[in-house]
Amino acid sequence: MSDSILQSLLTQAQKHASVLIEDLSELQPMRPFSAGNLVSASSGTLRILDQFNVRFTKLQDVLGSKVFPRILNLLGEDVRSLAFIDVLSRLEALGFIDSADTWLSLREQRNRLSHDYPDDPDILAAELNSALEATTVLLEYWLQVKDRISNNQHL
């Protein structure tokens, strides 16, 4: 790969993915989350959850808003006037992602995760459990994109 911008973006994405993998490992013994274990969570666990939230959001953002358009630009496609769903549909057609709809659901998960539910630990627990499951899909998409880039001579 010769594009330095794409390389820099992939390095950023890898950093976020690596931390997410560590977070998943550290959070695994506490899963599934419940209102009770969130209310009594240690400050260390809360820091890991905060870090997880940030890295999930950052990985999703760097891929969706930077890597995806850059891929299409490098393949000679003008994405400036495309709606995001059209970018996703094009990436799906090219085999970079499995499903535009799944990516949109990951984005919705990110948006739900960014809301704070201090008065309702039941909702927070449900959102965290959902986000932890979605992280597996997000990481699979990251690996798929990374693999597809490394196997594409135009990138």
pLDDT at 58: 96
Contact 104, 57 (CB under 8 A): no
Instruction: Indicate which CATH number applies to the domain containing 42.
Output: 1.20.120
The pLDDT tens digits for 58-75 are: 999 999 999 999 999 999
pLDDT digits (tens, 9 = 90+) for 19-54: 999 999 999 999 999 999 999 999 999 999 999 999
Domain count, the chain: 1
Does residue 18 lie within any of the structural domains? yes
Residue range of the domain that includes 13: 4-150
Q: Annotate 114-138 with b (16+ C-beta within 10 A) or e (fewer).
A: eeeeeeebeebbbbbeebbebbebb
Which tokens go with 13?
């994405």
Q: Is the pLDDT of residue 12 over 60?
A: yes
Residue 56: how many other CB atoms lie within 10 Å: 25
Report yes or no on 133 lying in a domain. Answer: yes
Q: Is residue 33 part of a domain?
A: yes
Residue 81, amino acid: S
Q: Per the domain annotation, does 155 fall within a domain?
A: no
Per residue in 116-149, pLDDT (tens digit) is 666 788 988 999 999 999 999 999 999 999 999 9
Residue 1 pLDDT > 70, yes or no?
no
